[in-house]
Amino acid sequence: MPRLVLVTVWYLSYLPESEQLAALVRDLLDAAGVTAPVSAPTGVELVRRRRDERTWLFVISHTDQPQEVSVTGHDLVADAAGTGALVLAPARWRWFARAEPRRCAAARVRHTPPRA
């Protein structure tokens, strides 16, 4: 028997100015219940990735000024605990693991040629 799925569809017949588009996207995200992993200023992108029990947070600045973001986790770029305020340099990024890693997995991988 077919399942009935209720969806909401939004139709936009034009491309609004950037401020109007930003307000519309905020309204759409609010309506869908989508929230940011942490609060960030305009121009700072936050991307959360998950695999099993581990999560990673990418913090990317698309601005030409230093930006401050409050994060917790392990800073995989600096290999240090990331707690509290992160000052992100202009046009830079950082990568945080939510659980304390022993070491970045890529650093432990060694290529072993197959035996003949």
Identify the band that residue 98 occupies on the pLDDT scale cut at 50, 70 and 90. Answer: low
d(CA 15, CA 52): 38
Residue 61 lies in a domain: yes
Residue 109 lies in a domain: no
Write down the pLDDT at residue 114. Answer: 42
**Model pLDDT for residues 13-66, shown as the tens digit of each residue:** 988 998 899 899 889 888 888 887 778 888 888 888 888 888 888 888 888 999
- Judging by beta carbons within 10 Å of its beta carbon (0-12, 13-18, 19+), is residue 38 exposed, middle or buried? middle
Q: What is the rounded average pLDDT of the residues 80-99?
A: 75
Domain count, the chain: 1
In this structure, the number of other CB atoms found within 10 A of the CB of residue 43 comes to 14
* 95-112 CB burial, b ≥16 within 10 A, e <16: bbbbeeeeeeeeeeeeee
Residue 22 lies in a domain: yes
Write down the pLDDT at residue 106. Answer: 37
Q: In the block, which residue shows the tokens 């992100």?
A: 88
Residue 115 lies in a domain: no
Q: What is the rounded average pLDDT of the residues 56-81?
A: 84
Instruction: Quote the domain boundaries for residue 73.
Output: 18-102
Residue 39 lies in a domain: yes
CATH of the domain at 45: 2.60.40.1180
Write down the pLDDT at residue 20. Answer: 92
